[in-house]
Amino acid sequence: MAPTTVTTIVMIVFALFVLAMGLYNLFGDWEPAVRRLSAEERMEIEYENAVREMRQAIEEYERGNRPL
C-alpha cells in the first residue's frame, strides 16, 4: 500500500517536530539549577533508607547470619 499525501504530510510534520525538539534540547538553557530538597522529600528519603535497611536486616536474620 503506497502512502497517501495526507500520510506523507503527517510524517513530515512529525519529523519537523522531532527535529525542533532536538534542536531546542541541544541549544536550550544549559545553566545548571540548584534543586533543594524540601523537608518532606528529605523525610521520605530517610524513610525509604530505613525501610531498605530493615528489609536487609530481616533477610540476614532469616538466613541465620545475624544473632538475636
pLDDT tens readout for residues 3-55: 788 999 999 999 999 999 999 988 887 777 788 888 899 999 999 999 999 99
Q: Is the pTM of this model over 0.85?
A: no
Rounded-to-integer distance, Cα 35 and Cα 47, Å:
20
Which DSSP letter does residue 4 get?
A: P
Looking at per-residue pLDDT, the higher value among 47 and 68 belongs to: 47
Alpha-helical (H) ranges within 1-68 are: 5-27, 39-63
What is the rounded distance in angstroms from the CA atom of residue 16 to the CA atom of residue 27?
A: 16
Phi-psi region of 40 (alpha: psi -120 to 50; beta: other; left: phi over 0): alpha
